[in-house]
Chain A
Amino acid sequence: MTERVIDPAALVLLQGLEPDAEQLREDEAALVRAARAGNRGAFGDLYERYARVVHGIMLAHAPAQVADDLVQDVFERALSNIGGLRDVNTFAGWLIAITRNRVRDHFRRNMASEELPEVAVPANAQPRAEAAAALEAIRRLPEAYRETLMLRLVEGMTGPEIAARVGITPDSVRVNLHRGMKMLREALNP
């Protein structure tokens, strides 16, 4: 059984530390190797690390009421295909590619859903209408800003976490967040 390792990205929240990119890669590669060999615990750890990323990307494109199902579907696909992942260091990019393909599949099958109506607002998002409006406003932003803001404002990830998970530089994340937030403010307070 694979020893559970502390997610270095979580240390950012716990201790205010910047994640060690090299350590992160090594830990993750070990998890991917174990998951590839059939270790469910390792795959569960990968899910814990990446579920918010996949969910955030889903929310940037698909209605909230189907996002959870699509996340489950993405990880089921990953689970059944992880044996074919040759380079364990490419897991994040590979998973995000599956996510984007799943979003495209969803819209191919549900052409009528392109308007992304929000009918299932969580009870704890108050006030509901405001939350739905904010979500819609983020979705109208350019893709790079929209996904980064979903990961930051909805999923609660920090900029360094987003950078480590999505595979872009922290500076790019910072820029996307600030530019996206500026556009969002303008959209919400015209």
Chain B
Amino acid sequence: MNDYLFNKVGEGEPEVVRLENLLGGYRQQRPFVFPPAAMKPWFARTWFRAAMAGAAAAIVLALIFASAAQGPSEWIARRDSGDPHLNSIPVTRPEVFRPGSIVTTDGSSELELKAAGHGRIRVLPGSEVRFTENSGRHQRLELRHGTIEASLYAPPFMFSFDTPSGTAYDIGCAFRLRIEEDGRGRVDVLSGWVQFEAGEAQELAPAGAQIEIEPGYGPGTAVFRTSGAGFRKAVHDVDFGGPGERLEALRRVLANARANDVYTLLRLMRGATAEERGMLFDRASQLKPPPAWVTRDGIMRREEAMMDAWTTSLGLGDAKRWWVHWKDRF
């Protein structure tokens, strides 16, 4: 006897086949997205990692506070190549670099700043850097133009770098910052995270991402260096193009976005209109679905907890866990 309804063998009754075709579009298709840090072996489980991270943090903090208790520490400027200058005097041997001092490099010289036991900063050719503050707990420099490569081991926001177009904050712990004479520039994050601020504008970039800087606009949206050229150009146009071009540029962003670009899409939501935010949500959730409890309505209402959860689910690391990132520079 034909029992197609039960075993799908033989010819099906037309009404059953019609309903199968009609309802097949609702069928379950979405793959499971493993939440971060799930299903780890015992040595990678949360309690063990938390204990180890806590112990490491305690040791590092003890060292830092011991260092800070001694007051401002000494910075050293050391010639790497060519003919760098410290306060207009050639650097021929290691010199103390004090607040108020300026180092300059011409087109063929380089210099290294040893940053008070917290790492080093390479001043690349064609640069001018002024030391503005050394208070033990806060180290501030000014990159007037040129390029620096910072590799730092310090709590978030201990080191900051002023530029004519805004300020870069180290959140641990390696990045390249370039500023042209006209104020244009770029931050390339090599490990950890960097925040760039200009007035009210603020951008946060994880390792592998970069931030374009335009005078008068401030930082653009963080984009990964591995993103496609079309996507990068479209994001640039959204950030710095005229208001009339924005929607068209945003459509190009969505069309060119890949899974690796979801962080950028989430960052773009911050300054987006409701319509744009909806478009960004739809594309981002196609590429990397958010955690189950994160809803479209919540994102449209700008619920920070949902935005944070989605960003965290991308597995880019926690900006606050600087004691984990610092070892990346070795």
Chain A residues near B (Cβ < 8 Å): 12-13, 16, 35, 38-40, 43-44, 47, 51-52, 54-56, 59, 64, 67-73, 75-76, 79-80, 121-126, 130-131, 134-135, 152-156, 158-160, 170, 173-174, 177-178, 181, 184-185
**Alpha-carbon distance between A72 and B9 when the two chains are bound, in angstroms:** 32
Expressed in whole angstroms, the Cα–Cα distance for A39 and B35 within the complex equals 14
Interchain residue pairs A-B with the least CB separation, the first 10: A125-B25, A55-B28, A122-B25, A73-B292, A159-B6, A72-B292, A47-B32, A124-B25, A154-B23, A69-B292
> Of A16, A73, A158, which is within 8 A of B293 by CB?
A73
Tell me whether B34 is interfacial, beta carbon within 8 Å.
yes
Encode contact with A along B50-78: 1 for CB under 8 Å, 0 otherwise.
Answer: 00000000000000000000000000000
Cβ contact within 8 Å between B20 and A76: no
Q: Are A51 and B28 in contact (CB under 8 A)?
A: yes
* Complex contact A121–B25 (CB within 8 A): yes
In the bound complex, residues from chain B placing their C-beta under 8 Å from that of A181 are 5, 16
Bound-complex Cα distance A68 to B39 (A) = 22
CB distance from A137 to the nearest CB of B (A): 10
Contact of A38 (CB < 8 Å), options: B8, B25, B41, B289: B41
* B13-40 CB contacts (< 8 Å) to partner A: 15-16, 19-20, 22-28, 30-35, 38-40
Interface size of B by CB at 8 A reads 33
Q: Is the CB of B32 within 8 A of A51?
A: yes
- Whether B273 sits at the interface, judged by CB under 8 Å, is no
- Residue pairs across A and B with Cβ atoms less than 8 A apart, 29 shown, are A38-B42, A40-B38, A43-B39, A47-B31, A51-B28, A51-B30, A51-B32, A55-B28, A67-B28, A72-B289, A72-B291, A72-B292, A76-B38, A76-B291, A79-B39, A124-B25, A125-B23, A125-B24, A153-B16, A153-B20, A154-B26, A155-B27, A156-B24, A156-B27, A159-B5, A160-B7, A174-B3, A174-B6, A185-B15
Interface residues of B (CB under 8 A from A): 3, 5-9, 15-16, 19-20, 22-28, 30-35, 38-42, 289, 291-293, 295
Q: B292, A76: Cβ atoms under 8 Å?
A: yes
Chain A contacts of B39 at CB under 8 A? Answer: 35, 38-40, 43, 79
Known: A152-B5, A158-B8. A44 touches B24 (CB 8 A): no
- Give the complex CA separation of A54 and B31 in angstroms: 13
Q: Is the CB of A71 within 8 A of B41?
A: no
